[in-house]
Structure formats: structure tokens, C-alpha cells
Amino acid sequence: MPAHAVYGTYSDGLSARAHPVTLVLEDSLEITGQDLRLAWTLADLAAGDTAAPLMRVGPAGRAERVEFTDEALAAALKDRCPDLYRSDPSASGGRLRLVLWSIAAGISVIGLAIYGVPAIAVRLAPVVPAAIEARLGGAVDGQIGKILGDPPVCNDAPARAVLDRLIERMTANGGLPVDPAITVRRHAIANALTLPGGRVVVLSDLIDQSRTPDEFAGVLAHEFGHVAARDPMRALLAASGSSFLLSLVLGDLTGSTILVAVGQAAISAGYSREAENAADTYSVEVMSRSGGDATALATILERIAKDDEKAEFASLLRSHPFTKERANRIRAMAGTETVGRRILDETEWATLKGICRNVPAKTAK
């Protein structure tokens, strides 16, 4: 073996087999082995990523490689091949592919969270057993209480009796998958929250800000529309499912993201335009057959839209997005026959407005 020759191994990049070879550095890197004779141009050589004393070199852009551990040959190649440590196309290509696959996977998960999970929730919500939905509603109710600062329940007996009679009148013709359970809580935000299992949480300022019993009843009937369509179950499945998938991407698997999303989903459900329109239609139908003013829902939404900078209206406006088109649609469906009707008389309405008279006011958080 010549003094300037060293032993190494050759790989063609197509198979795992390594061929013993002799390497000689002349005007080119000459590689000789059994049935093998190659001469690689020095300007074309690129070194792979290895740890000394092992060195791996081959023509840039090709899969062929030789490996050796001779330090003298390694030093000579460094001196005579100024571009020896250029980026290895095959290695960088692998890293690029890994990055691109990672990005694609992330986009796929986010896309599934945004589009796929809601679509799955639409089909899954109707088949959730009533008992499970009721337990979930109870758990969410507790979470909502924490988010809102544990507002006290308003249960003045005469007012509660009026509310129960109103609910019975509005639900007399059925149409709901479960009997609704309405709770009124003392809170300085005007809103009504529909939870799984037919639970509806009324925040007392909604009653305070309603100028007529029909405005309050119109909002309540709208919430019954969401109960009828099981929208809360669908919204929570979509929110919690999306949050879980996004947690995989963000690395937050502690459950905190899911808890926050479930609570927030109940407070600001973000129903689709179709779901809101369907609930509006349900409200008009309920108010019409219950002896109330079916246009009152449009009236209170219009007033809220004008006063949307006031804190007491902020949450209701977010969870029931107002548009002029929506109000016009409600009025068109309701017609004029019910205008001026009252679902409660003045005495009943005054009694209902005092449902929190025995509960001290508590500042909203």
C-alpha cells in the first residue's frame, strides 16, 4: 500500500452494504476496491456531519460516500477542498423535510381543531346520553360560578313562583329534549347562559335591564331554542376537543387550557349564524303562542346595540351578536299581531323584578 494511501469503506447510498476500499489523494480522491475504481473531483467533495476521528466525504448532491479515520488524509482534504464543509444537501434536505412535515402536521392539527372538531361535534352532540349531559352541565355550572365570582342564587319565593309559571307557560307545548332548569344569580352583567342538560343561568341584570317582561321572556325563549337544538353540548364538545388538539401542538397537556375553554365556551358560546337564527325563530314561535310580544327580542337587542359601550350589556352582546339584519328578520317573522301584548301583567312583572331583593348586590368580576 502506498504511503499516502489509507483504508476506508465505500457506500453507494443505495444499500446498507459497506465495501472495503483504498483511498489515495492525488489530483482527485481515488477510490479502489474489489470491482470498484472511482476518482472524485476535489472541488466537488462535501464532508458529512461526523465526530473525529471519523470522516465521511462524497460528491455534493450524490448519495455515495466514503468513511475513514486517518487524520492526515482528513487534514489534507481540508487544505485542498475549500468547500469541503458546505451544507450537505442530503442532510439539509432531510432536515428540511422534517421541518416541512412538522409544519404540515401542526397545520393539520390546527385545521382539524378549527374545522374538523366542530363538524364531529355536530354529529356527536345528539347521541350523548341525557344522564351524561346532565352531569356535564352540573360540572360546567360550577366552573361558570368560579369564573363569575360565585354569584349568589336569587330565590325570592313570590318572584320564583312567577318565574316558574312563566317557564311552564313557555314550555307547555314541549319541543325541548329535557325540562329546562333555570337559575337566577345576582350579577351586574345582563346575560343568560345556556349549559348542557337544559340548564339556563340568568344573570339578574338581564331582568333589571329589560323594560318589559316580554323583553326578558324573548331572551329566555331564545335560550330555550339553544336547548332544543342542543347547541350548548355541541359548543362544549367543539371547544374542549379543539383545546385538547391545540394543547398537543402547544405542549400544554395539564388540562388548564381545556378547563378555560369549556368555561369560556359556556359564557360566550359563539354559536353559528345558523344556530342563532334558529334560536331566534324558536323565540318568536314560543312568544307568539305564549301570549307575549314576539318582537320584544329584537327590541332589547336593538337597545343593547346602541348601548354596547356599557359594561352591563357587554357580555350579552358578545354571546348574542347583533346585526340589523337579524332584528329585521325577527320582526318579519313576528309580524305585527303580537305587538303590545304582555306575557306578564304589571303586578307579576314587578314581583319578578324583585327576585334578588333578599340577596345583597355583588360587584361583577
How confident is the model over 231-274, as pLDDT tens digits?
887 777 666 554 544 444 444 433 444 444 555 555 555 677 88
- What is the per-residue pLDDT across 265-274, written as a single tens digit (0 to 9) for each? 555 556 778 8
Distance from the Cα of residue 302 to its chain's centroid: 30
Identity of the highest mean pLDDT range in 33-42, 87-96, 158-167, 254-263? 158-167
Same domain, residue pair 114 and 249? yes
pLDDT value at residue 312: 43
Same domain, residue pair 343 and 216? yes
Query: Which residues have a Cβ under 8 Å from the Cβ of 275 and sit 6 or more positions away?
Result: 226, 229, 231
Same domain, residue pair 178 and 247? yes
Give the global pTM.
Answer: 0.60
Query: What mean pLDDT is predicted for residues 289-312?
Result: 79
Residue where a domain terminates, one of 86, 115, 134:
86
Type of residue found at 358: N
Give the integer Cα–Cα distance in Å for 57 and 87. 12
Same domain, residue pair 53 and 153? no
Our count of domains for the chain comes to 2
pLDDT above 90 for 170: yes
Is 362 within the bounds of a domain? no
Residue where a domain terminates, one of 55, 86, 117:
86
Retrieve residue 53's grid coordinates: 476521528
Same domain, residue pair 15 and 134? no
Phi-psi map region of 187: left, alpha, beta (phi>0 left; psi -120 to 50 alpha): beta
Same domain, residue pair 71 and 136? no
pLDDT level of residue 116 (50, 70, 90 thresholds): very low
Query: What mean pLDDT is predicted for residues 109-131?
Result: 52
Give the integer Cα–Cα distance in Å for 45 and 84. 6
Is 91 within the bounds of a domain? no
Work out the number of other CB atoms within 10 angstroms of the CB of residue 322.
20
Range of the domain at 24: 5-86
Same domain, residue pair 169 and 119? yes
Going 194 to 176 to 240 to 259, the CA torsion angle's sign is: positive
Give the integer Cα–Cα distance in Å for 46 and 43. 9
